[in-house]
Amino acid sequence: MQSDRVLAILREVFSSLSRENPSFASLPSVIDQSTTLEALHVTDANIGELAKELRNRLGGIALNVELMYRMQKAFGGTSSGQNQYSTIGDMVRHIQSSLHHGIQNPVVVYVDDEEENLFVFRRRYAKRVNLRTFSKPDEALAFIKDNSDVVLVLTDESMPGMSGNQLCDQVHMSKPFLKFVLITGNPGGDENLMHRSLRHGRFYDFINKPLDFDKKGEEYFESMNKVLSGDFF
């Protein structure tokens, strides 16, 4: 992930914490690579909250920001490398390094109320990816929120109770960088759907219905594999 994207995530995390945690109040108006952790009011008492929020946003990657912070405090910058963890830029580089190692067991979620599609999807891809399928979007939503190793969600658009766009909205409230692929029988049903979605960065890709696993099965897999190759966020 590019450093500017990591910095954007950190800005959003601190903004969220400042609204919910008094110890992060009165943040600097500008947060850039040179902003110190001290200026952001990061302390021994609240570093755990910061680390928890980062895990929620970025999944099950072992960021260890709390450990790095506490080691610097414990060694006072005298241990090798520990004098390099005092600014947001240091944290950005640490997160980039952690992301490089990737999630050990990334999960792909597929949501579709058509059981036949779920069956074929499992039969075709279950041995190639760590796959979980759901016919009910509310059950998928609960699973995605509770499982930090989910890196990609493929979802049908038209489903009872919750559309694919609504599912994306709900997930992105807590995991704004999780990638989604929208499966829709007709972007032309709302001819601006695809363009609006792409403009706002909502979806990583689109798949048109009806699904054609014989002709496009490998194309669907490649769309998943681009994410599974490490571009998780």
Q: What is the pTM of this model?
A: 0.60
User: Is 196 in the same domain as 173?
Assistant: yes
User: Is 223 in the same domain as 112?
Assistant: yes
User: Is 125 in the same domain as 39?
Assistant: no
Average pLDDT over all residues of the chain:
82
CA 177 and chain centroid, separation: 4
Q: b or e along 55-85 (b: 16 or more beta carbons within 10 Å of the residue's beta carbon)?
A: bebbbbbebebbebbeebeeeeeeeeebeeb
* pLDDT at residue number 56: 75
What CATH code is carried by the domain that includes residue 131?
A: 3.40.50.2300
Question: Residues 184, 169: contact at Cβ < 8 Å?
Answer: no
- The 3-state secondary structure of the chain reads CCHHHHHHHHHHHHHHHHHHCHHHCCCCCCCCCCCECCCCCCCCCCHHHHHHHHHHHHCCCCCCHHHHHHHHHHHCCCCCCHHHCCEHHHHHHHHHHHHHHCCCCCEEEEECCCHHHHHHHHHHHCCCCEEEEECCHHHHHHHHHHCCCEEEEEEECCCCCCCHHHHHHHHHCCCCCCEEEEEECCHHHHCCHHHHHHHCCCCCEEEECCCCHHHHHHHHHHHHHHHHCCCCC
pLDDT in tens, 162-197: 999 999 989 988 777 788 999 987 554 455 555 555
Per-residue pLDDT band for 30 (boundaries 50, 70, 90) equals very high
Whole domain around residue 122: which residue ranges?
A: 107-228
Per-residue pLDDT band for 78 (boundaries 50, 70, 90) equals very low
Cβ neighbors of 179 (< 8 A, separation 6 or more) are 151, 152, 153, 204, 227, 232, 233
pLDDT in tens, 84-106: 678 999 888 877 766 655 567 88
For the sheet with 179-184, list strands across it: 130-134, 107-111, 150-156, 179-184, 205-208
Position 72 in a domain: yes
- Picking from 101, 118, 152, the residue at the C-terminal end of a domain is 101
What CATH code is carried by the domain that includes residue 35?
A: 1.10.1200
* pLDDT at residue number 1: 59
Two structure tokens written together for 51: 């680390």
User: Is 97 in the same domain as 114?
Assistant: no
* pLDDT at residue number 62: 44
Averaged pLDDT, 6-14: 89
* pLDDT at residue number 226: 84
User: Is 119 in the same domain as 85?
Assistant: no
* Percent with pLDDT over 70 in the chain: 81
Per-residue pLDDT band for 118 (boundaries 50, 70, 90) equals very high
Per-residue pLDDT band for 59 (boundaries 50, 70, 90) equals low
Number of domains making up the chain: 2
CA 63 and chain centroid, separation: 14
Position 87 in a domain: yes
Task: Calculate the alpha carbon distances from 64 to 94, 141, 154 in Å.
Answer: 9, 27, 29
CA 61 and chain centroid, separation: 11
Mean pLDDT highest for which of 63-67, 79-83, 115-119? Answer: 115-119
User: Is 97 in the same domain as 154?
Assistant: no
Q: How far apart are the C-alpha atoms of 80 and 227, rounded to whole Å?
A: 35
Is the pLDDT at 206 greater than 90? The verdict is no
* Percent with pLDDT over 90 in the chain: 42
Position 233 in a domain: no
